[in-house]
Structure 1
Amino acid sequence: MKNIVFDPKAFKQFNQWAIEEKKLYKKIVDLIDDILRHPFSGIGKPEPLKHQLKGYWSRRINDEHRLVYKITETEIIIISCKFHYD
């Protein structure tokens, strides 16, 4: 199983969701769980990103927010879970 690693900014966003909006927090937890099983398919409409974020993927949390992550051999690196490709 891969380790889940949060960029410090993403970890702060994740914790903010836990306090401010529990429904979206739960959705993020569900997305991360699905990424562990299916890194490039599944819920949240996964899509590869381009340009400066090439190599990263995003999944929809809702219409406004995206979970942005990268998969390595050993880790899932989450760099954002608020807004679009921030």
Structure 2
Amino acid sequence: MYWQNHDKRILKKNNTLLKDVKRQPFAGIASPEPLKHSLSGNWLRRITMEHRLVYLVRDDQIRITQCRFHY
């Protein structure tokens, strides 16, 4: 993973967000928002001003779409 080698602070925040997504995918920390248009069905949480965590929830699975840069 990119953050392991480049920014431990963002890695820690990412891990915190991922744990929260597992507990409550549609609520919780970092202002979860549903996405629209071509990414409809995905959800977004802000990691930093520049980076976003984008994920898709299907049944009991969470698929990470993106965790670096802005969607």
Q: Counterpart in 1 of 2:67?
A: 81
Does residue 23 (structure 1) correspond to residue 23 (structure 2)? The answer is no
Q: Which runs of 5+ in 2 are unaligned?
A: none
Aligned-residue RMSD, C-alpha: 0.6
Give the TM-score taking structure 1 as reference length. 0.80
Higher relative contact order (CA 8 A, sep 6+): 1
Does residue 68 (structure 1) correspond to residue 54 (structure 2)? The answer is yes
Q: Counterpart in 2 of 1:55?
A: 41
Identity of aligned residues (%): 49
Shift, 1:55, TM fit: 0.2
Give the TM-score taking structure 2 as reference length. 0.97
Q: Which runs of 5+ in 1 are unaligned?
A: 1-14
